[in-house]
A and B are shown apart, each in its own frame.
Chain A
């Protein structure tokens, strides 16, 4: 329940944001965007100076680089190669350790203390991606408790995008650019000459509580209108779209389309797309034992459906060809994900396009099949 007083929008100055970081740092690991190795990645931050102030990114299929902005915006970029899943659904996780001793066999599965994260600068598409992974990990018949605890203790400060990334298509995926829900606080950066403010929307009681420790005042109608204009401008800047109408039936009805052969000639099966995608969740299990054979541990690691032995039976790999593995990734993301989890698996963040070494564009591939559908033949006995 959000009190009537806090329902109103607030305005916070750029300088005052430091108070927000400090308040969160008291009992959270504060994580936010920062520049490193020529990209904007997510890592621990303490000061406003750690943020990519005055930086922006330029993205295209297979291309990414940073450039200085003409202003000092703290969030004047879109998304980089990392997603928040690296904190919530960790790349490497020890599940348990098993020991063989005189007292028999014991299994230890203590996950240790659950880190409380505060995420600074979560975009609307990323909020949706987190919600999608929530469905996978917390709402199935076997919830992942470690994920669920990290998720529930995470404090989220969202940011409404001030510009569209060149590979973004959140509008057609209906996941942005405005953050609608799933955040504790949502910021919209307003820069006007010397004025550098943030409109703050409260999204939860926890958000309201933290905000009390930050110097702020009620937002003016002008500021609220300016924030809406920022969002509208971003909406209009979208450079590509994915037509989602009937997309599931289109892809599942064209599993033998020649376009799959076409993309297979370009796809390196490097798996970059699965690493950068904020919703890809596949993992593998590795069992290690020590040399004495008295203890062994099970480690879970991120995996990719592009690996040769991702799917196999005792005769060998089920998806030997790159064609079949690309098809698996794309049809899972855009079609069978809907059957499994009720929504599309794609949030339109554009990362897979930017970080594909050969610039394969999922929106172009889908459009190519839509332009010239070739449904499978070979039905029998009136198959559906």
Chain B
């Protein structure tokens, strides 16, 4: 399995410095502060992408922000789930259908969806971390027969702040995947799990010696999750994380997204754990 996840050498924009103009086709509200935008180019069709990659979305005159793809490869549009946490993301989250937006991409490395064929798949998502994993889930479900057991473990703050809840319920209705959901706290009408996501791992139904894990969420949650996966027997080479750092150029030239030896924009965001194990717990690296 390649060190960086799926080799995405052929999936690069023509001129990576200059944004292409896209139109917002659809806006759906996910949570109080989170929307999903469907974006299509003003002319031509969007470039292909690999699950796990991201685009730089440009709000006119304000700035850019890196947002992972969270749509289906089969879909015409780029689908991006955006949370309002700052000037740029706030402006983007307020766009209405018909508005235009700049887009550079796709950039970065993808989930090892192809390389993991034949293995059990364990997907562990925390909060908004489910968004960058969703394209991988679509891919895996579309080719379900190529994988062993498929387990999705998802943690949210509470039941009303659960991303893609309807889709999770739909997936749950399938007979060939296990989905366990948990929340940090809840009130009595919640009959599901309460507790942290790593606590779901010991009971999850997969073979740790045949499994590949895909993890995305807040870094603290990913650290605990990696520990729990290794406690049940997964090796560092079978665990993949999506890392996050601020990006400016997204093409490995500005230096901002450096994480140890890696540039998160081009050596990530999806990284195999053994590559970063040495610095993962070093403070302020």
Instruction: Indicate if A touches B (C-beta under 8 A).
Output: yes
Q: Which residues of A contact B (CB under 8 A)?
A: 95-96, 98, 100, 104-105, 107, 109, 136-137, 140-142, 144, 252, 255-256, 281-285, 287-289, 293, 296, 300, 303, 305, 309-314, 318-321, 323-324, 328, 332, 336, 339-340, 376, 378, 380-381, 383-384
Contact yes or no, A98 B60, CB < 8 A:
yes
Contact yes or no, B21 A293, CB < 8 A:
no
In the complex, whether B245 has a CB less than 8 A from a CB of chain A is yes
Q: Can you list 9 residue pairs at the A/B interface with Cβ under 8 Å?
A: A105-B100, A141-B252, A252-B278, A255-B279, A285-B64, A287-B58, A324-B283, A376-B282, A384-B277
Choose among A140, A255, A293 the residue that contacts B253 (Cβ–Cβ < 8 A). Answer: A140
Contact yes or no, A287 B62, CB < 8 A:
yes
Given contacts A285-B64, A313-B244, 14 further A-B contacts (CB under 8 A): A96-B18, A104-B42, A140-B266, A283-B249, A285-B254, A287-B62, A287-B63, A296-B60, A300-B254, A309-B246, A318-B284, A318-B285, A378-B281, A383-B236
Chain B residues near A285 (CB-CB < 8 A): 63-64, 248-249, 254
Chain A residues near B227 (CB-CB < 8 A): 380
Minimum CB–CB distance for A199 against chain B, Å: 38
Chain A residues near B9 (CB-CB < 8 A): 141
Please choose the segment from B74-82, B203-211, B256-264 that sits at the chain A interface, where 4 or more of its residues have CB less than 8 A away.
Answer: B256-264
Minimum CB–CB distance for A99 against chain B, Å: 10
Alpha-carbon separation in the docked complex, A266 to B261 (Å) = 26
- Give the interface size bracket for B toward A: 35 or more
B12-32 vs A, Cβ < 8 Å mask (1 yes, 0 no):
100111110100000000000
In the complex, whether B251 has a CB less than 8 A from a CB of chain A is yes
Contact yes or no, B256 A310, CB < 8 A:
yes
Chain A residues near B260 (CB-CB < 8 A): 336
Alpha-carbon separation in the docked complex, A49 to B246 (Å) = 48
Minimum CB–CB distance for A313 against chain B, Å: 6
Choose among B18, B257, B283, B285 the residue that contacts A107 (Cβ–Cβ < 8 A). Answer: B18
Given that A142-B251, A313-B246 are contacting pairs, would A109 and B277 also be in contact in the complex, using a CB cutoff of 8 Å? no
Contact yes or no, A336 B261, CB < 8 A:
yes
Chain A residues near B245 (CB-CB < 8 A): 311-313, 318
Minimum CB–CB distance for A318 against chain B, Å: 6
**A140, A141, A300, A323 — most chain B CB neighbours (10 Å):** A141
Minimum CB–CB distance for A45 against chain B, Å: 30
Choose among B12, B16, B61, B230 the residue that contacts A293 (Cβ–Cβ < 8 A). Answer: B61
Chain A residues near B64 (CB-CB < 8 A): 285, 287
In the complex, whether B195 has a CB less than 8 A from a CB of chain A is no
In the complex, whether B255 has a CB less than 8 A from a CB of chain A is yes
Contact yes or no, A144 B278, CB < 8 A:
no
Chain A residues near B244 (CB-CB < 8 A): 313
